[in-house]
């Protein structure tokens, strides 16, 4: 259950070596881009919705079909986008991040053996 | 009384379950995180069970019935909060944390002070949440008996306190998790039954349901389907509501009793899977709760809800009685009872982990053996639960509603910035952690103390005095940016910088190399 293998010094050297490896640099770039992009999209989209609800209530009150109005359609949009973002994140992480993370982990295990 | 009997049956099932799972091994990994053996779907259900407080179901549906559209928007923010957990927090935390937040932080900081800071915030969150959960038992009693009775309330608080102690003392994280999974199943079934009955009643014609809801709302009929119920009229009120929703989104994923669950799976990939499972459950759950709120406005009516003993909390139970008779009402009420126990158990295990692992083991001078650590954690559970039961009994008739918002705001202003900086900012250091943790904590508490949540308004804790200088009860829009600012400032004010430790943090958080298995 404790992970450190070998003395702390080799471990630190291993981490510093991995930090400049191609696999890790690529993993970090992709992960950071993904996090920043998705975070901006869903927070921005939700903020846009609540700002419109607060400051343009008349727009949200417009009826579209029966008693369903623009505001309720925005809510439906939020819910669908949450499901879509989740599905996208799972796919992206599996295809583009997991293989790189695995390479980094292998490298780490090899150098620490 | 059938709800009371049903509650006891559910509780007995949980206790038998916990007894059959057994005590497990006497190791910290087994006690705190169940040896990280839960699969994605299991942990996803448990996450769902941990996340949904009694208030997420009863208060939200009542809020929708009375405030309409804005309450729906508020409910959506509880869904979006899970995207923050999925994208930003779950995997890095699984990769860098062992049992507590203190573990993750001490990878690259001075161990003692950061553990103390993390433990302080975690324990404050525990005390506040536990108090809310226990005093919230009053609502259950009102639902079960239809009247407010102090004696019955006190007995329910004692029962919840005792059940929590037994489950967590004996079963640790394993017992807690299975309690949360059972609760998740019951709550989901309850909401599907109630929502399904409602949709069948309307033959899936949502437009008619919404129309009836609008006319059932009485005086505010035109407003129920349009914004305005919670936004208020002037800019101050509107910004306060925006502040409240942003805090919900940012704060929940960083709640200690919730994120300890991210540590109970074998890998970051499995943690990711469990969060996605939680999302697949939480989205339909909230949609149904919103529909139930509109259904209560339509079929029960706003005036009946407001004049009933439980107030807005009675919206869903009254609808259950309307659609499914006493049987459905009894089922819903007993599920709410189990809901509280699942949450208090989660709170108790995370508090015991942080007290024993961050304070006792790492700050006390001697290093205990694994068996001693688990023994201490078990004693901590008993002490904390007894203490909180007493606090719950003392405060049971107080208006403590503000604590719920205070808690999430506090976490969003201290723990969240600390997590983000420690994974993603090279220059972050011990001083930065302490500034963020204590600065965010103090700022939030001071702002809330001088807000309408505490004084100066009819629904304040102290309605008869007025020292509310700050205009909003929900202070996140100010305190969260300040939390980030403190972290930046505190780091810049200290020369400490350890690039090698940051290399470890960065690689571990993103790839899991060197993470605990």
- Residue A29 to chain B, least CA–CA distance (Å): 11
Position A10 in a domain: no
Give the model's pLDDT for residue B222.
Answer: 60
Tokens of A28: 């970090």
At B24, give phi and psi (nearest 5°). Answer: 70, -170
Do B225 and A69 make contact, defined as CB atoms within 8 angstroms? yes
**Coil, helix or strand for B23?**
coil
- Residue B387 to chain A, least CA–CA distance (Å): 33
Give the model's pLDDT for residue A2.
Answer: 43
Of A72, A78, A101, the CB nearest to B510: A101
- Whether A72 and A49 have beta carbons less than 8 Å apart is answered as no
Q: Is A8 on the interface with B (CB under 8 A)?
A: no
Of A15, A57, A105, the CB nearest to B504: A15
Q: Is A73 on the interface with B (CB under 8 A)?
A: no
User: What residue in B sits closest to A74 (Cα-Cα)?
Assistant: B73
- Whether B353 and B256 have beta carbons less than 8 Å apart is answered as no
Count how many pairs of residues, chain A against chain B, have C-beta atoms within 8 Å.
157
Give the model's pLDDT for residue A36.
Answer: 97
Kindly provide the b/e burial profile for residues B329-351, where b requires at least 16 CB atoms within 10 angstroms of the residue's own CB. bbbbbbbbbbbbbbbbbbbbbbb
Do A60 and B69 make contact, defined as CB atoms within 8 angstroms? yes
Nearest of A109, A102, A113 to residue A27 by alpha carbon: A102
Which helix (H) or strand (E) segment holds residue A82: the answer is helix A70-92
Position A21 in a domain: no
Do B511 and A105 make contact, defined as CB atoms within 8 angstroms? yes
Residues of chain A short of pLDDT 70, as ranges, are 1-9
Position A68 in a domain: yes
Position A4 in a domain: no
Taking contacts as CB-CB distances below 8 angstroms, the residues of chain A near B287 are 79
Nearest of B211, B256, B236 to residue B101 by alpha carbon: B256
Distance CA A88, CA B477 (A): 29
> How many domains does chain A divide into?
1
Q: How many residues does this entry show for chain B?
A: 517
Distance CA B453, CA B447 (A): 10
Give the model's pLDDT for residue B309.
Answer: 80
Position A15 in a domain: no
- Whether B84 and B250 have beta carbons less than 8 Å apart is answered as yes
Position A49 in a domain: yes
Residue of B205, B222, B239, B507 to mutate when probing chain A, most A C-beta within 10 A:
B507
The DSSP letter of residue A63 is E
User: What residue in B sits closest to A62 (Cα-Cα)?
Assistant: B226
Q: Is A75 on the interface with B (CB under 8 A)?
A: yes
**Coil, helix or strand for A64?**
strand
Distance CA B14, CA B378 (A): 19
- Residue A110 to chain B, least CA–CA distance (Å): 11
Give the model's pLDDT for residue B454.
Answer: 87
Q: Is A65 on the interface with B (CB under 8 A)?
A: yes
Q: Is A70 on the interface with B (CB under 8 A)?
A: no
Q: What are residue B204's DSSP bridge partners? A: none
Q: What is the DSSP string of A4-35?
A: --S-HHHHHHHHHHHHTSHHHHHHHHHHHHHH
Give the model's pLDDT for residue B145.
Answer: 67
Do B279 and A82 make contact, defined as CB atoms within 8 angstroms? yes
Do A109 and B503 make contact, defined as CB atoms within 8 angstroms? no
Q: Is A88 on the interface with B (CB under 8 A)?
A: no
Do A82 and B82 make contact, defined as CB atoms within 8 angstroms? yes
Distance CA B509, CA B289 (A): 36
- Residue A6 to chain B, least CA–CA distance (Å): 12
Position A35 in a domain: yes
Residues of chain B short of pLDDT 70, as ranges, are 1, 144-147, 217-222, 363, 365
Position A17 in a domain: no
Residue pLDDT, tens place only, B86-126 = 999 999 999 999 999 999 999 999 999 999 999 999 999 99
**Coil, helix or strand for B129?**
helix
- Residue A35 to chain B, least CA–CA distance (Å): 6
Of A16, A32, A46, the CB nearest to B249: A46
Interface of A with B in 22-61 (CB under 8 A): 24, 27-28, 31-32, 34-35, 38-39, 42-43, 46-47, 49-51, 53-55, 57, 60-61
- Residue A58 to chain B, least CA–CA distance (Å): 8
Residue numbers of the domain that contains A36: 30-105
In the Cβ-directed half-sphere of B210, how many Cα atoms lie within 13 Å?
Answer: 20
Sequence-distant (≥ 6) Cβ neighbours of residue B270 within 8 angstroms: B39, B40, B43
Do A86 and B73 make contact, defined as CB atoms within 8 angstroms? no
User: What residue in B sits closest to A94 (Cα-Cα)?
Assistant: B269
- Whether B116 and B98 have beta carbons less than 8 Å apart is answered as no
Residue pLDDT, tens place only, B424-450 = 999 999 999 999 999 999 999 999 999
Distance CA B100, CA B96 (A): 10
ipTM for this model: 0.93
- Name all domains of chain B by residue range, CATH numbers in brackets: 2-511 (1.20.1730.10)
User: What residue in B sits closest to A105 (Cα-Cα)?
Assistant: B513
Q: How many residues does this entry show for chain A?
A: 113
Between the CA of residue B426 and those of A104, B62, B385, what are the distances in Å?
20, 46, 40
Do A65 and B207 make contact, defined as CB atoms within 8 angstroms? yes
- Residue B218 to chain A, least CA–CA distance (Å): 17
Distance CA B80, CA B8 (A): 35
């Amino acid at each position: 259950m404790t992970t450190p293998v070998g003395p702390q010094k080799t471990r630190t050297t291993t981490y510093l070596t991995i930090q400049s490896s191609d696999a890790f640099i690529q993993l970090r770039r992709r992960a950071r881009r993904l996090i920043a992009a998705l975070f901006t999209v869903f927070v921005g989209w939700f903020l846009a919705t609540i700002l419109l609800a607060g400051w343009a209530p008349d727009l949200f009150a417009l009826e579209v079909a029966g008693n369903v109005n623009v505001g309720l359609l925005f809510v439906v949009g939020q819910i669908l986008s949450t499901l879509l973002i989740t599905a996208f994140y799972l796919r992206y992480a599996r295809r583009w991040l997991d293989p790189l993370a695995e390479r980094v982990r292998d490298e780490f295990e090899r150098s620490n053996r | 009384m059938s709800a009371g009997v049903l509650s006891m049956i559910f509780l007995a099932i949980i206790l038998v379950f916990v007894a059959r799972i057994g005590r497990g091994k006497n190791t910290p990994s087994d006690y705190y995180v169940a040896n990280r053996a839960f699969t994605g779907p299991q942990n996803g259900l448990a996450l769902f069970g941990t996340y949904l407080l009694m208030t997420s179901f009863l208060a939200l549906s009542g809020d929708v019935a009375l405030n309409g559209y804005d309450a729906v928007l508020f409910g959506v923010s509880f869904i979006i909060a899970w995207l923050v957990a999925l994208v930003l927090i779950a995997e890095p935390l699984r990769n860098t944390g062992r049992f507590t937040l203190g573990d993750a932080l001490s990878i690259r900081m001075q161990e003692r002070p950061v553990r103390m800071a993390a433990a302080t915030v975690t324990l404050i969150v525990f005390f506040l949440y536990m108090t809310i959960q226990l005093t919230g038992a009053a609502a259950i009693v009102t639902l079960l008996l239809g009247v407010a009775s102090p004696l019955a309330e006190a007995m329910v608080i004692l029962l919840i306190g005792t059940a929590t102690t037994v489950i967590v003392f004996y079963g640790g994280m394993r017992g807690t998790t299975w309690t949360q999974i059972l609760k998740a199943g019951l709550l989901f079934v309850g909401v599907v039954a109630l929502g399904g009955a409602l949709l069948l009643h309307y033959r899936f014609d949502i437009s008619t349901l919404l129309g009836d809801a609008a006319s059932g709302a009485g005086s505010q009929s035109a407003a129920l389907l349009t914004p305005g119920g919670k936004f208020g009229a002037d800019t101050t009120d509107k910004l306060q509501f925006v502040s409240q929703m942003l805090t919900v989104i940012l704060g929940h994923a960083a709640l200690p009793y919730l994120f300890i669950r991210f540590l109970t799976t074998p890998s970051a990939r499995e943690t990711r899977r469990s969060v996605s499972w939680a999302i697949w459950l939480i989205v339909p759950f909230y949609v149904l709760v919103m529909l139930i709120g509109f259904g209560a406005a339509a079929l029960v009516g706003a005036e009946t809800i407001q004049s009933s003993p439980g107030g807005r909390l009675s919206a869903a139970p009254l609808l259950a009685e309307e659609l499914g008779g006493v049987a459905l009402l009894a089922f819903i009420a007993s599920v709410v009872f189990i809901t509280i126990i699942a949450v208090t158990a989660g709170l108790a295990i995370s508090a015991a982990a942080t007290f024993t692992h961050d304070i006792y083991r790492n700050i006390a001078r001697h290093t205990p053996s694994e068996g001693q650590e688990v023994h201490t954690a078990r004693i901590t559970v008993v002490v904390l639960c007894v203490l909180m039961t007493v606090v719950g009994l003392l405060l049971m008739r107080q208006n403590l509603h503000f604590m719920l918002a205070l808690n999430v705001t506090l976490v969003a202003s201290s723990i969240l910035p600390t997590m983000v900086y420690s994974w993603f900012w090279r220059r972050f250091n011990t001083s930065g952690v302490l500034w963020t943790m204590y600065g965010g904590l103090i700022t939030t508490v001071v702002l809330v103390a001088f807000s309408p949540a505490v004084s100066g308004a009819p629904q304040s804790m102290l309605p008869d005095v007025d020292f509310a200088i700050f205009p909003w009860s929900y202070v996140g829009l100010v305190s969260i940016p300040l939390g980030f600012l403190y972290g930046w400032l505190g780091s810049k004010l200290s020369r400490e910088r350890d690039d090698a430790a940051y290399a470890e943090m960065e690689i571990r958080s993103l790839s899991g190399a060197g993470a605990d298995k």
